[in-house]
Amino acid sequence: MCFFKKMSRRTLVQALIALPALSLFRKLPEADAARAGPSRADPSPADPNEIVEVNGWILKRSDLA
Amino acid sequence: MIFDSHEAYLAANFKPKVCILGSGPAGTTIARKLGAAGIPVVVLEAGSREFSDESQDFYRGTTVGDFYFDLDITRLRYMGGSSNHWAGWCRVLDKQDFEPKAWAPDTGWPIRRTDIEPYLPEVHDILELPDFRPDVPISDDIRWVQLIKSPAVRFGEKFADELDKSRNIAVVLNTYATELAGDGKRVTGAKLWSNGQDAGAFSADYFIVCTGGLENSRLLLWSNQRSNGGVVPNATALGSYWMEHPTFEGGNAILADYGEFEVDAVNEAFFSPTLAAMERLRIMNFGIRLIETPYAGVKHVIADLACTAPDMAEWVAYRLSQNLRCAAQLYVAWEQAPLASNRIELSKTDVDHAGVPRIEMHWKKSELERRTLVEGLKLFGTTLIEKNLGRVRLMDWIANSEDYPTDEETAGHHHMGGTRMGTDITRSVVDANCKVHGMDNLYVGGSSVFCTSGQANPTTTITALACRLGDHLSKVVAV
């Protein structure tokens, strides 16, 4: 089970709301850049645009951190 | 004219040429068309002006197979029929719904969508609809489609005054046609039940059965049994190929920008596959209904996404912090493959108060339909990725290949098939004009003539087919 489910809902949401600030330090792409596709180099040999199904989510491989 | 009893009707000495059984959307529409053409028509309605438990009790029945609603709950037996609990969603079946599909046996209609399109202006007047907008392709696989939430016309209320004033239409309430008699060429009469007792026989030149998507099969099966095949001479398909629109919550979507899609007045949008996608994946038609998720639901979806794709969850949380709408629930309704095994039979043990066997419905969703649900959601998810519009999460029971839940909506209360239209008398009951094969004066109106169900709610198509049948009968009867 995901460790998020062991946290209180309030703690979880507070953490999630705070996440955008972390991107300043982690040099993540601008938030809306996610709409324009992957902008980081993917070190794995797998196609970053490959469609994968993980935990019920239909995702691009590059979505997986 | 509206008569509250069969006795009152008899006293009026009205002489109809056409007898319509049932006053729902199909029966009322056909009656109005015939009345406008100057043809005297009687509408026999088994119920009264209002709902009653006593009348509904005639609709009790049993279901064998998958879970389904109680048969006396899923329809209404009084003036206006099931339009009295209709939600009002409107859309005509797609062009592709009328075409045969090589990967799904017994699909394809003997008519095309173009055959009912001339009647759509009338349908728009009857159902009080604005014009439909064309579909908008989102990708090669998915198109935005419009379903219009109409005022949900209650046919019994809307047209009561018009029917009451008509000199050519007589609506007779509390008058139940328990069976038709026939000689294999013509219906020779109907047996009536009124005020808790037999009310004699009734005759007319033409009979139109419009008693609903379950009851049409029941009445014709019982009539045929009583008349030794004299009402439906080619009865192989009678009661068979019954269909619904299975409907379940299929998942959630995270959206880059909710404003990317045009939503209706209640913030919903609908999506369906292209014919090319259906052919490639060998699936049936489906409709994904996108509904904005309440705030608490959004947090749950983000938390779940954070377990799998933290960066993406971060982005969504950022959007949420800006108070932007960014998530939706996805409800899926899909086309059920027409199968002869999904059928209406007459109970061998249970009858209603008039002695007519109740319905025993055999209904089961197929593997093709499960594939339609799963592949349809994946197709929508892939499209959102390819167009950088968002991401989709499947419900656990779908992702884990578990059984269908029984605590959800289950289906649309859309009763289709059983007296389907066709040219092959072993696989259909009525012809392209809704006339029962082999019979000169017996027609069927309503969704029981549907060959396939498409994904759209049926009332708009029912009304269009009724306008078409009304026009056809006006010419036939006038001869």
Identity of the residue in A2, A16, A34 whose CB atom sits nearest the CB atom of B317 = A16
Least confident piece of the model among B128-132, B205-209, B289-293, B335-339: B289-293
Query: Nearest chain A Cα to B323, which residue?
Result: A17
Query: Residue B424: which of B195, B205, B241 has the closest Cα?
Result: B241
Instruction: State the Cα–Cα distance between residues B92 and B246, nearest whole angstrom.
Output: 18
Residue A18: what pLDDT? 56
Alpha helices in chain A (DSSP H): 9-26
Confidence of residue A40 (pLDDT cuts 50, 70, 90): very low
The encoded tokens of residue B52 equal 């009653």
Check pLDDT > 60 for residue B112. Answer: yes
> What residue spans define the domains of chain B?
2-87+153-244+339-364+415-478, 246-334+367-399
Confidence of residue B435 (pLDDT cuts 50, 70, 90): very high
Residues B38 and B20 sit within 8 Å (Cβ to Cβ): no
Residues in B whose CB is inside 8 Å of some CB of A read: 251, 256-257, 299, 302-315, 317-321, 377-378, 381-382, 384-385, 388-389, 391-396, 398-399
Check pLDDT > 80 for residue B479. Answer: no
Check pLDDT > 60 for residue B91. Answer: yes
Identity of the residue in A17, A37, A55 whose CB atom sits nearest the CB atom of B321 = A17
Identity of the residue in A2, A31, A59 whose CB atom sits nearest the CB atom of B318 = A31
**Beta strand B187-194 with B89-90: parallel, antiparallel or unpaired?**
unpaired
Mean of pLDDT over chain B: 94
Mean of pLDDT over chain A: 62
A-B contacts (CB, under 8 Å): 105
Q: In what order do the strands lie in the sheet with B175-182?
A: B175-182, B187-194, B197-202
Please compute the mean of the pLDDT values over residues B14-26 and round it to a whole number. Answer: 97
Residue A7: what pLDDT? 64
- The yes/no answer on whether domain B2-87+153-244+339-364+415-478 falls in CATH 3.50.50.60 is yes
Residue B389: what pLDDT? 86
The complex's ipTM works out to 0.83
Instruction: State the Cα–Cα distance between residues B245 and B207, nearest whole angstrom.
Output: 29
Q: Testing the interface with B: which of A10, A19, A24, A25 to mutate, by most B Cβ within 10 A? A: A19
Which residues are within 8 A (CB) of B329 and not within 5 positions of it... i.e. 6 or more apart?
A: B249, B251, B252, B290, B291, B292, B293, B297
Confidence of residue B316 (pLDDT cuts 50, 70, 90): confident
Share of chain B above pLDDT 90, in %: 86
Q: If DSSP states are collapsed to H, E and C, what string results for chain B?
A: CEECCHHHHHHHCCCCCEEEECCCHHHHHHHHHHHHCCCCEEEECCCCCCCCHHHHHHHCEEEEECCCCCCCCCCCCCCCHHHHHCCCEECCCCHHHHCCECCECCCCCCCCHHHHHHHHHHHHHHHCCCCCCCCEECCCCEEEECCEECCCCCHHHHCHHHHHHCCCEEEECCEEEEEEEECCCCEEEEEEEECCEEEEEECCCEEEECCCCCHHHHHHHHHHHHCCCCCCCCCCCCCCCCECCEEEEEEEEEECCHHHCCCCCCCEEEEEECHHHHHHHCCCCEEEEEEECCHHHHHHHHHHHHHHCHHHHHHHHHHHHCCCCCEEEEEEEECCCCCCCCEEEEEEEEECCCCCEEEEEEECCCHHHHHHHHHHHHHHHHHHHHCCCEEEEECHHHHCCCCCCCCCCEECCCCECCCCECCCCCCCCECCCCEECCCCCEEECCHHHCCCCCCCCCHHHHHHHHHHHHHHHHHHHHC
Instruction: State the Cα–Cα distance between residues B171 and B44, nearest whole angstrom.
Output: 6
Identity of the residue in A37, A56, A65 whose CB atom sits nearest the CB atom of B311 = A65
**What's the DSSP call for residue A55?**
T
Q: Residue A13: list chain B partners with CB under 8 A.
A: 299
Confidence of residue A10 (pLDDT cuts 50, 70, 90): low
CB spacing of A19 vs B382 below 8 angstroms: no
Instruction: State the Cα–Cα distance between residues B202 and B59, nearest whole angstrom.
Output: 23
B53 against A27, higher pLDDT: B53
Identify the burial level of A3 via C-beta atoms within 10 angstroms of its C-beta, where 0-12 means exposed, 13-18 middle and 19 or more buried.
Answer: exposed
Q: Give pLDDT tens digits for B53-81.
A: 999 999 999 999 999 999 999 999 999 99
CB spacing of B308 vs A55 below 8 angstroms: yes
Torsion angle (degrees, nearest 10) of CA B460, B462, B464, B467? -140
Q: Give pLDDT tens digits for B241-282.
A: 999 999 999 999 988 776 777 888 777 899 999 999 999 999
